[in-house]
Amino acid sequence: MDFYRTLNATISYIAERYGEDFLKKTFRMMAHDVYRSIREDLRKGDPKQLIEHWAYYFDRENGEYEICRQGDEINFKVNKCPAIRYLQEQHINISPHFCSQTVEVNKALAEDTPFEIITKITGRGSCRQVIRKRP
């Protein structure tokens, strides 16, 4: 779990030292390089690996979430993010940019794919992510 502490500190450091644009570029590179196979599947029109990745991570970390399909949309509703929960329990100041990693990684994952991923932060430790075919 100390991974979250390190991630939070790293996000703060990059944002403060190099700026938000550089932080967004870092998240974009992560989406393109670390999650390459997920992105390749999205390019082929298959979101299955991304959904499996989300479910695996949240199950492993005891996150509170729901995944449901509504027509052509897949909704991933995070009720309690395990990373935010851990940081709060440890009384660690959470970077104001912490959740932007989710927003920016999702945007970058969807680049040049038939999908868009819309991420809406709904509270501290909660969000809604929607994957759908581009109009």
Q: What is the CATH number of the domain that holds 114?
A: 3.30.1380.20
pLDDT(45) > 80: yes
Angle at 15 between CA 14 and CA 18, to 5 degrees: 65
pLDDT over 90 percentage in the chain: 96
Please count the structural domains in the chain.
1
User: What range does the domain containing 94 cover?
Assistant: 2-133
Decide: pTM greater than 0.85. Answer: yes
Report the first-to-last Cα separation within the chain, whole angstroms: 39
Residue of 81, 71, 75 whose CA lies nearest to 119:
75
pLDDT band at 18; cut points 50, 70, 90: very high
How high is the pLDDT of residue 135? 86
How high is the pLDDT of residue 2? 84
**What is the average pLDDT across 20-37?**
97
pLDDT digits (tens, 9 = 90+) for 63-114: 999 999 998 899 999 999 999 999 999 999 999 999 999 999 999 999 999 9
